[in-house]
Structure 1
C-alpha cells in the first residue's frame, strides 16, 4: 500500500490545516490506512497504530457525530484482529462492548445500523470460538439476522448473509441437525447469488464451503465434499500468500484435503496439502504475523502424509518445519505453545517409527512444558497424557499411566467446547482401559465406560467425532461383557458399534473397524447370523476403501489391511446354517477389484454401441493411465496430479 495518503494526512494534522471538528475524520482515515496495510502485509505494528488512532478519533468525535457508530465498529475490527494475534481476552471483550454501544446508539441510519449489528455478531462469534460460551453464539445469530433484516442493498445483504451462514454452520455443528445444516447451506447459496465484487463473493464462497463440508461430514455426500473442496481451492488461490486471512483459508483447505484422503485413501490429496502449505510459507515473509503458524500448517500436512506414506523424510520434514516456525515465534506470542506442542507431536510420531527413546523423551518434555505453561487449555494436557501413555507402553511404569489419567481427567473438567471435550473423554476412556488391564480392577473399566458414554453424549450426532466415540464405547462395553457376561452390556455394545457403523459421513476405516468388532461381539454371544450380517456389511464397505480414483497399488494396499473379513463372515454364515450367504460373502470379498473391471468393461461396451471411436479413445486413455500407475516415479518438473 502506498505511503502517500498517510504522509498527506500526517502533514495536514501536524500543520493544523484541518479544523478541530474534522480532525477525527482525518484520524479515522489515517487509522483505516494502517488497518488495511496490516490486512495486506500482516505487520502487527500497523494494526496497533490503527487502534491508537481510532481511539483518539472516537474520543474527539463524541456523541454529536453521526459516524460514531461506524467509528466504534472500525475500532472493534482492529481489536478483534489483535485478539487473533495475541489471544488477550481484554481485546475481544472491549470490541464487543464497543459493538454493543455502537448498535445501541443507532447513529448513521439503517445502513450503518446493519453494518454495526453484523460486526457485533462477528465479534461474538470469535469469542465463542475461543471460549465456548453458548450465549455468545446465540447473540451472534440474533445480530446477523438483524443485519440481514435491516440491510438496504443487495451487496451489503450478501455479506450479512455470509456471516449468518457461518454462524448457522457453527450452531448446526453442535446440534447435528440435518435441517439446520441445510438451512446454513441455503443461506450461503443465497449470499453467493447476491454477492457483488471479489471480496464479498469470496466470503460467501467460504461460508458455503464450510456448510457443505459439515453436511458432507454428516451425510457422507461426495458431491458436497467435492464442491466444498473446489470452493476452498478457489479461495486460497485468490488470496495472496501474505494476506492476513490466507492462513485460516489454507488451514481449512489442508483439513478438507485430509478428510478427502480419509474418505478416498488418495495420497494425491495429502501431496496437494503439502504443496499448498509450502507455497504459503515461501510467499510469507518472516516478519508476518502468520509466519510461524504457516510453518505449523506445513508441519501438520507433512505429518498427515507420513501417516499414509510411512516415509521418514516426511516426519523429518515436519520436525524441521516446526523448528523453523518456532524460530520466528517470540516466547510471549499466543501461538508459541501451539507451535511447541506441534513439534512435540512430531517427535512422538517419529518415535512410533524409529523407537528412538530420545524422541519420546523430547515429546514428553515439550508436552509437560506446554501443559504447565497453559493449564487452562486442555489441548496441551491431552498431548501430555498421550505422550505419557506412550512411555507407559514402553516401560510399563505405573506412575506414567496414573499421571496420564490424572492429567486427562483435569483436561476434561476444563474443556469448554463440546467436540474438544468429547475427544478428551474418549482418550481418557482408553487410558482407564489400560489401567484396568494393568490392575484388573473392575472400577477402572466402569470409569472407562462412563467416560466413553460422556464422550458420545458430547459429540454432535452423526459426525465423525461421534462415530469414533461410539466405536470406543462399544469396545469398552464389549470388554466388560466378556468379563461379567451381562447381556445388557452386550446389547449396549451392539448399539454403540452399530451407531459407528451407520455413520455414513465417518471415515470408512472407522466404519469397517466397527463392523468387524460388531461381528466378533455377536460371535461371542452365539448370534451367528447377526455376526455374519455384520461381517457382510464390512465386506460391502470394501469398495469404498478401494474406490476407482485410487491407483491399483493403493487399492491393494488398503484391501490387504482388511484381510480375513470375508472368511470370518463366511464362517459365521456357515455356523448359522446359511450356506448361500457364506458363498455370497466370499464372492463379494474376493471380487472387489474384479467387479470394478467388469463394470468398466460393461460401460465401454455400452459406449461402443453408441460411439465406437470414443470408446476406443477411452480404452487407450485407460491403458495409458494404467501404465503410468505402474511407474511410481514422478515426471521431473511435471505438475502435481491434481493440476494435470
Structure 2
C-alpha cells in the first residue's frame, strides 16, 4: 500500500511538472511569435526541447511540430543551419509515425516540405529539393479545402520554381505559376498570409520573364508585389522580404524596357526598396545576403544606364557584403560570385585595372566550378566568364585565351534555352570574340561568323529594348572589321547604318553611346576617302568630326575610348585642314592620358597604355604648328611625355604627407595603413604587355 501511494505521488508530481512546462512553453511561444526576437525564440526553443524530452512517450506529435516551427523561425532570423537539421529530423520522425492523428498528418508533411526547402536553399542538396516537393504534394493532397491547403499549394509553387532554377524545364515553371495562381485565387486569399502567396507568385512570374521574356509577366509581378506590400501587417518579419522582391521586379522591368522616365523611375524605386530591405533584415538572416546582392545588381544597372561611377562602387561594395554574409556553403553563393565578377568587370572596363580583371575572372571561375553542368544558371556564368577571357586576351594577346573565350561562350549558348531573352546579347558577345580572332588571325571565316552572330542577335532583340542599341553597336564593329579585311562598300554602309541606329536608341547619359559614336565617326571618315566628289567627301568628314567630338565629350566614357575618339577627331579635322579644331581634338586626347594611365593601376599597365599612344603628343604638336600656335605645340609635347613623371611627383607629395601624418599620435596608424596600400600597389604584377592594339568592350551584354 505504501508503494502504491508513493507511485501515485511520483506520477502526480510528474504530471504537474509536465503541465508547468507546457504552460511555460505556451507563454514563450506566444511571446516569440509576437516579437520574433532571438532571445524570445531561444527561450521558446529551450522550453519546447525540455517539454519534448519530458513527453517523449506520450506526445501525439504536437510538441514536435511546435518545436520544429520555432527552430525554423529561429533559422530565418539567425541562419543557424543546425536548427534546420534538428527541425528536419523531428518532422521526418513525426511523418513516419503510424499513430499520428489524421488531423496532424497534412500539417506535418507541410512543415517538412517547408523545412527541406529552406535546407536546400542553404546547402544546395538536390535530395532535399526532391524530398520537399514530395512532402508538399502529399500535404496538398491531404489538406482539406481551405487556407491550409492554399498555403501548402503556395509553398509547393515555390519549390517547383526552385526545381526550375536548378534543372530548368519550362513545364516545371508553368506548373509553378499555376500553383501560385491557385494559391491566390480564393476570395480573401490564404488568410492572414495572403501577402506570402502574392509575393511568391510575383517572384515566379519575374523568373519566367527572365527565361521566357514576357514583359507582361513583369508588369503583373510588380502589381502583385505592390498588393502584397499593401496587405502585409506593419512590422511583420517578412516585410523586408516583400520589399526586396518588389524591388527586384522593378529593377528587372527597368532593365527590360527602353531608357526613359519610366525605367528611371522603376530603378529609383527599386534601389529604395532594396536599401530598405537590407537595412531592416537582421544581420544574421539568410535573406540579408540576398538583399545585398539584389542591391548590388540594381546599382550596377544604374551605372550601365548613367555611367555614374559612384553607382559602380556601390555595386562592388554591396556584392562583397553579400558574399561575406553568404559564407559557409550557401547554395546561392555562386550568384553572388557571378555578380561580383560582373561588377569588377565593369570597373575594369572603366578604369583598366589589371587587379579588377584578375579578381573578376577568379570570382566567375569559382562560380562556374560551384555549379553542376545541369544547373540552369550555368550558361550565364559561363557566358560572363567567356567575356572576361576575351578581356584577358585584350591584355595579353594570348591566342589560347582568345580561343578559350570563343569555346566557353559557344558552350554557354548551347546550354542556354533557345527562348531565353539572354540569347541575343550572348550571341552578340560571341560575335565580338569571333571578330577579335578574325582580326588577329586574318580569318575571314571568323569575321563572317562574327557578322552572322551579330545579325542574329539584332534580329532577335526586340525593338525598343535596352539591349538592342548595344547589340547594334557590336554588329557595327563587326561590319567595320570585315570592311577592313575585304574593303567591300556594303560592309561600310552596314557599319554606318547599324551605328546610327545604335546611337539613335541611346540617351545622352548612356556610357555605351560613345562606343557607337566612335565607330560611326571612323566609318564616316573612311567613306569620305571613297567619295567620288568633294561635296560628299566634306559632308562625311564634317559629320565624322561632329560625332567623334560628341564621343570624346560623353560623360562617363572609358578613358581608352575617350583618347581614341578624341585622337580620331583631331585626325579627321586635320583631313579637313581645320587646324584649330584638330588641335582641340588632339588636346582633348592628350589631356585624357593621365586618366588613361591613372595611378590606381600598376606601373607596367601605365606604360603599356601610354605606349599604345606613343605618337599622340607629336601629332598634336604638329597640328598646333599648322595652326600657328608653337607655344601650344610645346605644351602638348611636354604634357604627353610627362604623364608618369607627374604621377611620380604626386607620389612624392603623398609620401611627404604620410610622413607628416605619422608625426601625430592619432595619425600614426592611418599612416601605416596608407603606406602598406602604397607598397602593395607598387608591387602588383601586371598580366603582361598587350600583344595587339586594344579593342573596346563597352557594349558587351551582361
Would the TM-score normalized by the shorter structure come out above 0.5?
yes
- Residue 251 of structure 1, CA deviation: 0.5
Unaligned runs of 5+ in 1: 319-344, 350-361, 635-644
Residue 310 (structure 1) aligns with: 396
Q: Is the 8 A contact 1:539 1:566 kept in 2?
A: yes
Of residues 489, 494, 516, the one that matches 1:442 is 489
Residue matched to 1:40: 122
Which of 610, 622, 633 is equivalent to 1:582?
633
Match of 1:560 in 2: 611
Of 308, 322, 343 in structure 2, the residue corresponding to residue 235 of structure 1 is 322
Residue equivalent to 1:118: 199
Distance 1:411 1:601, change over 3 A: closer
**2:112 is matched with which residue?**
30
Q: Which moved more, 1:163-172 or 1:3-12?
A: 3-12
1:306-344 Cα distance to aligned partner (Å, 9 max, x none): 3466296xx97x7xxxxxxxxxxxxxxxxxxxxxxxxxx
Query: Does 230-239 or 439-448 show the bigger shift?
Result: 439-448
Q: 1:301 to 1:395 in 2, by over 3 A?
A: closer
* Equivalent in the alignment of 1:146: 227
Report the Cα offset of residue 450 of structure 1. 1.9
Gaps of 5+ in 2: 1-81, 687-702
Q: TM-score, normalised by structure 2?
A: 0.71
Q: 1:529 to 1:272 in 2, by over 3 A?
A: same
Report the CA distance shift for 1:230/1:499 in structure 2 as closer, same or farther (over 3 A). same
* Contact 2:514 2:554 (C-alpha < 8 Å) held by counterparts: yes
Q: C-alpha deviations, 1:475-508, integer Å up to 9, x for none?
A: 3333223322355544544454344334433432
In the TM superposition, what is the alpha-carbon distance from 1:387 to its structure 2 partner? 6.8
Distance in 2 of aligned mates of 1:285 and 1:451: 37
**How far has the Cα of 1:420 moved from its partner?**
4.9
When residues 419 and 442 of structure 1 are mapped into structure 2, their CA distance, relative to the original with a 3 A threshold, is same
How far does residue 590 in structure 1 lie from its aligned partner after superposition? Answer: 2.8
Counterparts in 2 of 1:538-549, with a 5 A limit? Answer: 538-549=589-600
What is the match of residue 246 of structure 2?
A: 164
Preserved contact between residue 217 and residue 464 of structure 1 (Cα < 8 Å): yes
Q: Which residue number corresponds to residue 528 of structure 2? A: 481
**Structure 1 residues 401-452: Cα deviation after superposition (integer angstroms, max 9, x where no partner):** 5565445423322235945544443333234335545665433322232222
Q: 1:183 to 1:471 in 2, by over 3 A?
A: farther
Corresponding residue of 1:327 = none
In the other structure, the counterpart of 2:60 is none
Count of residues in correspondence between the two structures: 590
CA distance in 1, matches of 2:627, 2:242: 60
Alignment deviations for residues 148-168 of structure 1 (CA, whole Å, 9 cap, x no partner): 333313443322222233333
Per-residue deviation at 1:80?
1.8
The residue number in structure 1 matching 2:148 is: 67
Question: Alpha-carbon deviation of 1:611?
Answer: 8.2
State the alpha-carbon separation in 1 of the partners of residues 442 and 653 from structure 2: 57
Q: Distance in 2 between matches of 1:394 and 1:588?
A: 32
Whether 1:509 and 2:549 are equivalent positions in the alignment is: no
* Cα distance, 1:240 vs structure 2: 3.4
- Counterpart of 2:157? 76
Q: 1:248 aligns with which of 335, 343, 354?
A: 335
Superposed CA deviations along residues 118-161 of structure 1, whole A, max 9, x for unmatched, are 22222222222223322222222222222333331344332222
Q: Report what 1:334 is aligned to.
A: none
Alpha-carbon distance in 2 for matches of 1:311, 1:405:
22
2:352 pairs with one of 258, 261, 265:
265
CA offsets 1:48-69 (integer angstroms, 9 cap, x no match) = 332233233234435x322344
Q: How does 1:69-468 map to 2 (within 5 A)?
A: 69-105=150-186, 107=188, 112-154=193-235, 155-173=237-255, 174-176=257-259, 179-180=264-265, 181-197=267-283, 198-240=285-327, 242-274=329-361, 276=363, 284=370, 296=382, 300=386, 303=389, 306-307=392-393, 310=396, 346-347=403-404, 370=414, 377-378=423-424, 381-382=427-428, 401-402=447-448, 404-415=450-461, 418=465, 420-437=467-484, 440-458=487-505, 462-468=509-515
Deviations 1:156-192 (A, max 9, x none): 3322222233333334444445853444333333333
Q: Which residue of 2 aligns with 1:322?
A: none
Alpha-carbon distance in 1 for matches of 2:311, 2:438: 42
- Is the partner of 1:105 in helix, strand or coil? coil
Query: 1:252: Cα distance to partner?
Result: 0.6
- Asked if the contact 2:167/2:375 (under 8 Å) is kept, the reply is no
Deviation at 1:223, TM superposition (A): 3.6
- Contact map agreement 1:363 1:387 (CA 8 A) in 2: no
With over 3 angstroms needed to count, the CA separation of the structure-2 counterparts of 1:458 and 1:602, relative to structure 1, is same
Contact 2:345 2:388 in 1 (8 A): no
* 1:41–1:216 distance in 2 versus 1, CA, 3 Å: same
Deviating more after overlay: 291-300 vs 258-267: 291-300
Counterpart CA distance in 1 for 2:443 and 2:655 is 62
For 1:186 and 1:19, locate their aligned partners in 2 and report how far apart those are by CA, in whole Å: 48
Aligned pair in 2 of structure 1 residues 275, 381: CA closer, same or farther (>3 Å)?
closer
2: CA distance, partners of 1:85 / 1:536:
54
Query: What's the CA shift string for 1:71-116, capped at 9, x where partnerless?
Result: 3332222222222223322222332333333333255667523222
2:138 to 33, 39, 56: 56
Q: Give 2:579's aligned residue.
A: 528
Q: Distance in 1 between matches of 2:543 and 2:210?
A: 34
Change (3 A) 1:512 1:24: farther
Whole-Å Cα distance in 1 between the matches of residues 221 and 149 of structure 2? 22
Q: 1:224 to 1:404 in 2, by over 3 A?
A: closer
Mapped partners of 1:619, 1:56: distance in 2: 64
Superposed displacement of residue 236, structure 1: 0.9
Segment of structure 1 superposing worse, 561-570 or 296-305: 296-305
CA-to-aligned-CA distance 1:515-567 (integer Å, 9 cap, x gap): 22222222223332222222222222222222232333332232222222233
Q: Secondary structure at the match of 1:67?
A: helix
The 1:428/1:602 distance shift into structure 2, 3 A limit, reads closer
Contact 1:271 1:305 in 2 (8 A): no
